[in-house]
């Protein structure tokens, strides 16, 4: 499977990072989003991040120029149909993802590989809505994509060995490390990570500690680079809640019940850094705990 052209759907935090690393690895990339504004912001973010890599001697100026030249954007989803590989990185809602794949199908070439950057949703179920479940896989990058070295590879029940091998080789070309996960709710990273964040929210909800003390305890007591509540804000509390719901629904175990306080924060629109408020208030110069 020769892969040179890559389509990325969704220009948000994950999508722009995925487009960045593929362009820097000498793939031709088309970044798609329904919003011209989102595409402009993604381009600016990629320009900023690649400039930072040049300053750190991780890229040369010539490599940066070539990477930016290889990256283009579009609001027309069907323009991605000619790509060898397509990576869906839209919001973590299954209905939206299946709608995107449905819109894509008529324009796809017969050999195009479809993947999803979903952090929790069943790959087998997503693949079954397409015409190529053998050429469909989970391709889960970590945030921030240019920095984090891990990519989870998740096979659906029908994924072919050829598709798996092709994506595994791509991970190596990107300079990252692949971890293979079975197609169970939330896969490996989020199966462990998100319940930890949810438990930290329960500790806050039950008054075991306040935001500052919970985060300090895990940073200084467990040597975590971020406290769990700070990390939840970074990921997005709406995303954390969506993953907890997938775990709770998919595994039918009460230990995955989302904390009511997490639900309240999401209902209030306090979803973390991207919203300006979560377990910390980011609207000033220094983040301030909200509890």
- CA 144 to chain centroid, in Å, comes to 9
HSE-CB of 277 using CA atoms within 13 angstroms: 9
Given 119, 122, 181, 198, which residue is catalytic?
A: 119
Pairing, β 136-141 against β 150-155: antiparallel
181 in Cβ contact with 154 (< 8 Å): yes
Active site residue 140: yes
Spatial separation of the C-alpha atoms in residues 121 and 184, rounded to whole Å: 8
Q: Say how far apart CA 55 and CA 145 lie, in whole Å.
A: 18
The predicted pLDDT at position 246 comes to 92
Q: Among the options 73, 92, 122, 152, which is catalytic?
A: 152
Please indicate whether residue 199 is annotated as part of the active site: no
pLDDT at 91: 87
Residue of 88, 140, 198, 230 with catalytic role: 140
CA distance to 66, 93, 119, 158, 233, per residue, from 100 (Å): 30, 11, 17, 20, 27
The question of whether 102 is a catalytic residue gets the answer: no
The distance in angstroms from the start CA to the end CA of the chain is: 52
- Please give the Cα distance from 223 to 94 (Å, whole number): 35
Structure tokens at 167: 């994506």
Q: What's the pLDDT at 1?
A: 66
CA angle 96–99–101, rounded 5-degree value: 115
- Average pLDDT by consecutive 10-residue portion of the chain (291 residues)? 93 95 97 96 96 95 97 96 96 93 95 95 96 97 94 97 97 96 95 97 98 98 97 95 94 96 98 96 94 94
Report yes or no: 42 and 11 within 8 Å, Cβ to Cβ. Answer: yes
What separation in angstroms does the CA of 135 have from each of 39, 63, 141, 200? 27, 31, 18, 39
- Residue of 16, 120, 190, 198 marked active site: 190
Scan for tokens 């072919």, then name that residue: 160
190 in catalytic set: yes
């Amino acid at each position: 499977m020769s892969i040179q052209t890559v389509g990325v759907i969704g220009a948000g935090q994950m999508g722009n990072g995925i487009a960045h690393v593929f362009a820097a690895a000498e793939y031709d990339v088309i970044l798609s989003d329904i919003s011209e504004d989102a595409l402009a912001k993604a381009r600016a973010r990629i320009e900023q991040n690649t400039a930072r890599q040049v300053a750190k001697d991780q890229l040369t100026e010539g490599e940066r120029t070539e990477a930016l030249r290889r990256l283009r954007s579009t609001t027309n989803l069907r323009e991605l149909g000619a790509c060898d590989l397509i990576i869906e990185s839209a919001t973590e809602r299954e209905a939206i993802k299946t709608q995107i794949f449905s819109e894509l199908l008529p324009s796809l070439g017969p050999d195009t590989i479809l993947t999803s950057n979903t952090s929790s949703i069943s790959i087998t179920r997503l693949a079954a809505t397409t015409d190529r479940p053998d050429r469909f896989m989970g391709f889960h990058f970590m945030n921030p994509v240019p920095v984090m070295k891990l990519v989870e590879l998740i096979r659906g029940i029908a994924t072919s060995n050829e598709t798996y091998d092709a994506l595994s080789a791509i991970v190596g070309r990107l300079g990252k490390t692949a971890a293979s996960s079975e197609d169970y709710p939330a896969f490996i990273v989020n199966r462990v990570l998100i319940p930890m964040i949810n438990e930290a929210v329960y500790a806050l909800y039950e008054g075991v500690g306040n935001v500052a003390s919970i985060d300090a305890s895990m940073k200084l007591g467990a040597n975590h680079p971020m406290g769990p509540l700070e990390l939840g804000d970074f990921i997005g509390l709406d995303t954390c809640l969506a993953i907890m719901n997938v775990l709770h629904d998919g595994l039918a175990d009460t230990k995955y019940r989302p904390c009511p306080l997490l639900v309240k924060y999401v209902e209030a629109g306090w979803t973390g850094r991207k919203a300006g408020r979560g377990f910390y208030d980011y609207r000033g110069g220094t983040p301030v705990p909200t509890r």
